Amino acid sequence: MTDSAPAVVLSADGPTPAQVSAVARHGAAVELDPAMLAHLARVREQVAALAAGDQPVYGVSTGFGALADTPIATSRRTALQRSLIRSHAAGTGPEVEREVVRAMMLLRARSLAKGHSGVRPVLVATIAAVLNAGITPIVHEYGSLGCSGDLAPLAHCALVLLGEGRARDAAGQERPVPELLAAAGIAPIELTEKEGLALINGTDGMLGQLLLALADLEELLRVADVTTALSVQGLRGRDEVFRPELHVLRPHPGQAVSAANILAVLDGSAILADVRREASRVQDAYSVRCAPQVAGGARDTVEHARTVALRELAAAIDNPMVLDDGSISSNGNFHGAPVAYVLDFLAIVAADVAAIAERRTDRMLDKARSHGLPPFLADDPGVDSGMMIAQYTQAALVAELKRLAVPASVDSIPSSAMQEDHVSMGWHAARKLRTAVANLRRVLAIELLVATRAIDLREQAPSPAAAAAIAVLRRAVGGPGPDEFLAPDIAAAEECLLDGTVLAAVEAVTGPLR
């Protein structure tokens, strides 16, 4: 079911963040490293030997959670693993997006591939086969507390490996799971000791969403620099504040990058050349002048989150875990706190970058602050309302983003009869971050709409990079004129950001933005 994305080889060392996106979003095939499979087989022999002994081992010869001290007879241990998956597949609410489910499955296979879970190679091979067939388990939004892993979401995925549960085919059609597996030539798994627990005890759901959000935010922060530069020209702002000499004086790396991006997009603007000849205005408002400081702080936060994501991507997450000496030890590595914190940090970033963009938009619509633009950029103010309500929509999105910025990771609800008495809520942090990222894109799309119209209403020419952005948008959205149905224009602008065409047009002029 691959697109043009190259295959991803799953080994004990992979995948990379880009490879996770390739599998999750672009259908890249998953191949298995033979050395990794051989290592899994050797580790599995150690687990099988422990399972045959008398020593109690959590999840192998005992129950789960608060039932950890309940011994399970050898004859019932296969049923134990199957029952675990069925009982833990207890999610509810809307379906989780396909790309999230695919990322989650790949990341669970990645953790198992490191050889510290003691599963048979067939488990990893079956996950890869399901991904390659385009089969997507139906996972629900609610069910994970982000501790002991993303139990319910991963259990819904694991249930499909057993030939049960619910799933969709590559075309998105729900079909009976046995039929989907049979059509792909995949045999349902019969779980043995520890394997059910190993399939669900990980942070893969929250990590997958973190990796996807990082990819989106990296692009959206470049977009924010572009829309800032468009707004600076729409507002007849001053470009001196983006000079590199100023930003070395406060050596936050993201700030310097943002300022350089904005300056590159402004290069060659006749509008700003005309502004430099004025002596009436010494400096611009904060939403213009401080844009690099806000977007730069956002970049630095993204870099911190990326560091955490890479560490988690290198981790083996399970409980218990098989150590290199062959022993099995209980642990708390499944706790989602490190991932949950940065998911919350990024929701704050999305809210603030959106908030400053909305303030720039509002300035362009206010005749008292826009330096010569008509009220609300209307064609016939009074008869026409222009972009007035587009700013309302932006404000509504920013208000929602502020609510989404309230951290989930400070909450905890005890579970499993107080055995699991502190949880991370990382899954909740991830779900709200996905909404925040989408809303940030919508806010920037509206700034793009307003700024390009403001530039079109000026007498001087914009910078070549700004002109390239306007040309792309004008293929989908008309320029200044009488009021028309505005919602499709907002949707079209959002699509131009989602498909990357505006950013690509700008970078064709400026070179790659950072």
Each residue of 259-279: pLDDT tens digit? 999 999 999 999 999 998 886
Q: Residue 488 burial (CB < 10 Å; 0-12/13-18/19+)? A: exposed
Q: In this structure, are residues 201 and 151 in contact, taking their beta carbons and an 8 Å threshold?
A: yes
Tokens at residue 296, please?
A: 């730069």
Q: What is the dihedral of CA 46, 47, 51, 52, to 10 degrees?
A: -20
The span from the CA of 335 to the CA of 202, in Å, is 8
Query: C-alpha angle with apex 390: 385 to 393, nearest 5 degrees?
Result: 135
**Quick one: which H or E segment has residue 175?**
strand 174-175
Q: Where in the chain is the domain with CATH 1.20.200.10?
A: 209-318+346-510
Range of lowest pLDDT (141-150, 253-262, 464-473): 141-150
Please state the pTM of the whole predicted model.
Answer: 0.95
The span from the CA of 397 to the CA of 167, in Å, is 33
Would you please indicate which residues are annotated as catalytic (active-site) residues? 58
Q: In this structure, are residues 165 and 159 in contact, taking their beta carbons and an 8 Å threshold?
A: yes
Q: In this structure, are residues 349 and 338 in contact, taking their beta carbons and an 8 Å threshold?
A: no
Amino acid 55: pLDDT? 72
DSSP one-letter code for 168: E
Amino acid 332: pLDDT? 86
- Which residues lie below 8 Å from residue 345, measured CB to CB, with a gap of 6+? 301, 304, 305
The span from the CA of 510 to the CA of 292, in Å, is 18
Q: What's the whole-number mean pLDDT along residues 169-187?
A: 98
Q: What's the whole-number mean pLDDT along residues 192-221?
A: 96
Q: Quick one: what percent of the chain has pLDDT higher than 70?
A: 97
Closest CA to 452 of 424, 428, 475, 482: 475
> What pLDDT band is residue 2 in, cutting at 50, 70 and 90?
very low
Write the CA distances from 45 to 38, 50, 51, 52, 347, integer angstroms.
Answer: 11, 9, 10, 11, 44
What's the mean pLDDT when you consider all of the chain?
94
Q: In this structure, are residues 48 and 57 in contact, taking their beta carbons and an 8 Å threshold?
A: no
Give the long-range contacts of residues 47-53, CB within 8 A, separation 24 or more: 47/118, 47/193, 47/194, 47/322, 47/328, 48/192, 48/193, 50/328, 51/77, 51/192, 51/193, 51/194
Q: What's the whole-number mean pLDDT along residues 59-84?
A: 75
In the predicted structure, residue 51 carries a pLDDT above the cut 90: no
Closest CA to 496 of 446, 462, 453: 446
> What pLDDT band is residue 281 in, cutting at 50, 70 and 90?
confident
Q: What are the φ and ψ backbone dihedral angles of 39, each rounded to 5 degrees?
A: -65, -40
Closest CA to 184 of 193, 176, 195: 176
Topology of domain 209-318+346-510, per CATH?
Fumarase C; Chain A, domain 2 (1.20.200)
Write down the CATH superfamily of domain 8-202: Fumarase/aspartase (N-terminal domain) (1.10.275.10)
The span from the CA of 301 to the CA of 307, in Å, is 10
Amino acid 64: pLDDT? 66
Q: What's the whole-number mean pLDDT along residues 190-216?
A: 95
The span from the CA of 405 to the CA of 343, in Å, is 10
Q: Where in the chain is the domain with CATH 1.10.275.10?
A: 8-202
What is the per-residue pLDDT across 408-443, written as a single tens digit (0 to 9) for each?
Answer: 999 988 887 777 878 899 999 999 999 999 999 999
Q: Higher pLDDT residue, 207 or 56?
A: 207
Q: What's the whole-number mean pLDDT along residues 159-171?
A: 98
